Amino acid sequence: MTTISHWIDGATRTASGDATQPVHNPATGEVIAQLELGTVADVDVAVASAAAAFATWSQFSLSKRSTVLFRFRELLVANTHELALLVSREHGKVVSDAKGEIGRGLEVVEFACGLAQLLKGEYSEQAATGIDVFSVREPLGVVAGITPFNFPVMVPLWMAPMAIACGNAFILKPSERDPSAALFLADLWKQAGLPDGVFSVVQGDKTVVDALLHHPDVAAVSFVGSTPIARYIHATASARGKRVQALGGAKNHGVVLADADLDDAVDHLTAAAFGAAGERCMSLSVAVVEDSVADILVAKLAAKARAVKVTAGDQDGADMGPVITAAAKERIEGLIASAEAEGATVVVDGRGISVPGYEGGFFVGPTIVDHVNAEHTVYVEEVFGPVLDIVRVRDLAEAIEVINANPYGNGTAIFTASGEAARTFRRSVKVGMVGVNVPIPVPVAWHSFGGWKDSLFGESHVYGPDGVRFYTRGKVTTQRWPHREAERTAASFHFSADSQK
């Protein structure tokens, strides 16, 4: 059986401890590998290697850094299919969806290739007589990324290329559920010519996370995952003086107004709710529908949901694969049962689905729950599975109230033919990312990704301009070069702008 280990100082490295954890194929339920769990000692070795590499890498010219990034980009393109198969095998998502994930991560790599433009400072000549002032942005040092199971390629690519292009050394702690993609990326970085130690992978659980959060030589931590863990990481790392960007959970609403193209809305809601088995922080898990068209919309959604092909992600024609673990399946089915018990209507029930040839897999079928309200457990909790709640409202104003009352503020969307309604919605919702007739409004790489409220802890969003600011710090220099001895003036003992004019 395959053993999955760390990547430190440019090579695979066996863990210093004996603890392991099984890695499953979610489509079959079989154990396909054993993951070596890291220790505090492993983190110490990785940080020491990264710190040494930073001393050299940070002095590389921007041109040389960009050359490595361009090579990495080409290798990522060339290996997309193989990497997507690996993701599908350990995560369960459909291969085409895995390729889409890689493509969105590739956008950030391409943005990072041109980072020299964004690292340019500002210069003010003759700010005062004989005095020039200029600013630069410098890398932080060793930075860490802690990433979730649902996007084992895309989320690391939101972080590492930005950090590395800015001149930092990056340590990745991937999810224990699908750890192999991280090692695949590490090998591509090495092939691209990245110096050993600039990109490292330490596998593990909370022990590794805490070691990174407490290590004095880790300057910043990036995280994507659940809200309770995001809150913990932000509090723990911030208390130790580290920079933190911690993205938490979501409960994303898709509003459907009566004037919307209902067939178009149904197509997009179905894909956004059930794609990747609903295991996306940007999934539309709640459809907020105007009463006047709710019955029609629910009937159309039910027909679409029943037509979704559920099977292993590497099978031809697959629309949706399994969820990540048996425990996730049990939890999702429990939430569906709670909705039924609390008075909601299960219109399409994905519990107990059996996929021929994959009877041991962790499958939950597409599920639609109608007449949901804010008190239902299935609405309160982040399901992170293929479950679409239907909340009925009188009008746009009530829809906005429903969204703004929710503690999460990650993403939302509206389906409408009215520009006025769309503008009102966009300006009124307390959510970080908004789509207008776009179901999953993940920003392109030259903007930044991040939510509001309980979906983000810390000020910084990921990638884009926010990513540049997060992985660098500003330095301002005020300089004066007197030409001759006669031009020297006496230094002032008081703080005054006049002394520099």
pLDDT in tens, 410-426: 999 999 999 999 999 99
* Whether 113 is catalytic: no
Q: Would you state the structure tokens that stand for residue 232, as one six-digit string?
A: 């913990």
SS3 assignment, position 284: strand
Predicted confidence at residue 480, as pLDDT, reads 94
- How far from chain centre, in Å, is Cα 134? 34
Predicted confidence at residue 496, as pLDDT, reads 54
Average pLDDT, the chain: 96
Task: Report the amino acid identity of residue 382.
Answer: E
Predicted confidence at residue 495, as pLDDT, reads 61
- In which band, very low, low, confident or very high, does the pLDDT at 1 lie, cut at 50, 70 and 90? confident
Predicted confidence at residue 134, as pLDDT, reads 96
User: Once rounded to an integer, what is the mean pLDDT over residues 176-190?
Assistant: 98
The DSSP 8-state label assigned to residue 26 in this structure reads: T
Spatial separation of the C-alpha atoms in residues 343 and 246, rounded to whole Å: 35
Task: Report the amino acid identity of residue 58.
Answer: S
CATH numbers and ranges of domains, the chain:
2-248+455-476 (3.40.605.10), 252-436 (3.40.309.10)
User: Once rounded to an integer, what is the mean pLDDT over residues 49-58?
Assistant: 98
Check: CB of residue 351 under 8 Å from CB of residue 364: yes
- In which band, very low, low, confident or very high, does the pLDDT at 499 lie, cut at 50, 70 and 90? very low
Q: Which residues pair with 433 in a beta bridge?
A: 411
Check: CB of residue 328 under 8 Å from CB of residue 363: no
pLDDT at 186 over 70: yes
Task: Give residues with Cβ within 8 angstroms of 252, minimum separation 6.
Answer: 282, 283, 284, 285, 286, 408, 410, 411, 412, 413
Spatial separation of the C-alpha atoms in residues 287 and 295, rounded to whole Å: 13
Predicted confidence at residue 169, as pLDDT, reads 98
Share of the chain above pLDDT 90, in %: 94
Least confident interval from 112-116, 318-322, 324-328? 112-116
Predicted confidence at residue 310, as pLDDT, reads 98
pLDDT tens readout for residues 357-400? 999 999 999 999 999 999 999 999 999 999 999 999 999 999 99
Least confident interval from 183-187, 230-234, 300-304, 443-447? 443-447
First to last CA, the chain: 73
User: Once rounded to an integer, what is the mean pLDDT over residues 259-263?
Assistant: 98
Share of the chain above pLDDT 70, in %: 97
Helix axes 154-165, 180-191, angle to 10 degrees: 30
> In terms of C-beta density within 10 A (0-12 exposed, 13-18 middle, 19 or more buried), how is residue 402 classed?
middle
Q: Would you state the structure tokens that stand for residue 170, as one six-digit string?
A: 């990056």
Predicted confidence at residue 486, as pLDDT, reads 55
**β pairing state of 122-128 and 169-173:** unpaired
**8, 277, 281, 344: which one is catalytic?**
281
- In which band, very low, low, confident or very high, does the pLDDT at 482 lie, cut at 50, 70 and 90? confident
- In which band, very low, low, confident or very high, does the pLDDT at 437 lie, cut at 50, 70 and 90? very high
- How far from chain centre, in Å, is Cα 304? 28
User: Once rounded to an integer, what is the mean pLDDT over residues 207-218?
Assistant: 98
Spatial separation of the C-alpha atoms in residues 195 and 54, rounded to whole Å: 9
> In the sheet where 456-457 sits, what is the strand order?
11-13, 6-8, 199-201, 169-173, 142-146, 218-224, 243-247, 456-457
pLDDT at 489 over 70: no
User: Once rounded to an integer, what is the mean pLDDT over residues 201-222?
Assistant: 98
